[in-house]
Amino acid sequence: MTANSPYFVLEQAYEYTEEIKKSRFITYLTPTKGRQAAEQFVREIKAQHPDARHHCWAFVAGRPSDGQQYGFSDDGEPSGTAGKPILNCLLGSDVGEMTAVVVRYYGGIKLGTGGLVRAYAGGVQQVLKLIEPVECLIYEELHLTCDYAQIAAIESLFSVYNGKLNHAEYGAQVVMQLDVDARHIQAFITAVRNKTNGQVNVKVVD
């Protein structure tokens, strides 16, 4: 899988609650693009449940294969019993840009390390059964300058290369700002030049 390959993400948030030996576990799963959004969501859940004993969490804030976008915390539970099991469940789904927070209201009965792993992982597994992920395409931005007579030829290529027009300025010539599927960027540029006999100025925006 390359950096330009699509991956799956969530479209909505999910929640699941269960009681295990008098402790209540509330699992929240939500879309979060980037570490900052993931960390903000953790803070929001903590603020919603100030009286809970633990707020254990994990996130995959970017592409599922990007280890730089992972994070997790046991939040006071024994090391390795909460955050890492939650993260392992997220990674097993092969979905990116999401954060799970499991809130525990302690019921007075200790679960032991194995019981904690099962409780925290189990809630996330139940939530993951509910999700309907969607494909996230990676786009690159192009700026393109053409004559009015060339617009139709260029637009005919959008559906072939997953292109979409973001903005256009209509002056002496037409200046388009496009997003094109990153996997097909060079093929799109070549097709535009072939369609217009090389008369169109196309450049990739860094």
What is the predicted pLDDT for the residue at 2? 66
pLDDT score for 26: 97
- DSSP-assigned letter for residue 78: P
Residues of the chain with CATH 3.30.70.240: 138-204
pLDDT of residue 95: 95
pTM of the model: 0.79
Please enumerate in sequence order all residues whose Cβ is within 8 A of that of 171, keeping only pairs 6 or more positions apart, or say none. Answer: none
Q: What are the structure tokens assigned to 101, written together?
A: 């927070």
Residue closest to 58 by CA, chosen among 45, 71, 67? 71
Closest CA relative to residue 202, chosen from 20, 187, 33:
187
pLDDT of residue 1: 58
Q: What are the start and end residues of each CATH 3.30.230.30 domain in the chain? A: 7-135
pLDDT along the chain (206 residues), means of 10: 81 95 96 95 97 96 92 95 96 96 93 94 96 90 90 90 90 91 90 88 81
Arch. (CATH architecture) of 138-204: 2-Layer Sandwich (3.30)
Question: Would you tell me which CATH number, out of the four given (1.25.50.20, 3.30.230.30, 3.20.20.80, 3.40.50.880), belongs to the domain 7-135?
Answer: 3.30.230.30
